[in-house]
Amino acid sequence: MTTKELLNKIKGRDWYDYADEAMDKIREYDCENGTFGIVDDELLDEIVEREAREYGWTRVAYLLGNAEPHSLYGCYIDAYGNAQTIHREHIEMWLEEILENEEGE
């Protein structure tokens, strides 16, 4: 499915049926370009461990303040270095950015 088709599906009522495919495309793009800061559980564990060692538990509290532990789509690291849960709005926004880049090529 093209990025444009995926974006239209994600904006629709049945968006949930296409979210996994959309996240696969987003993760692939993120791996190649490092744009969105998506992290898997293992990497987030490493970040938490490092931040706890260097800055203590209060830094970890901020780091994980907006991260849901059982999120279906994982987390990303925002501009402030804190973990944020990935929601539908993020999937839409990232697909739009990918589409813009594809159309600009």
Average pLDDT over residues 26-35: 88
Whole-number pLDDT of residue 105: 67
- Tokens matching residue 38: 């998506």
Question: Residues 53-79: pLDDT tens digits?
Answer: 999 999 999 999 999 988 888 899 999
Q: Domain ranges in the chain?
A: 3-104
Give the chain's mean pLDDT: 92
**DSSP-derived secondary structure for 62-87:** HHHTB--TT-SS-EEE-TTS-EEE--
Task: Name 85's bridge partners.
Answer: 75
Question: Residues 80-89: pLDDT tens digits?
Answer: 999 999 999 9
Question: Residues 8-27: pLDDT tens digits?
Answer: 999 998 898 999 999 999 99
Sequence-ordered list of residues with C-beta below 8 angstroms from that of 78, at least 6 positions apart, any chain: 37, 84
- Strand (E) or helix (H) holding 100: helix 88-104
Sequence-ordered list of residues with C-beta below 8 angstroms from that of 88, at least 6 positions apart, any chain: 10, 15, 19
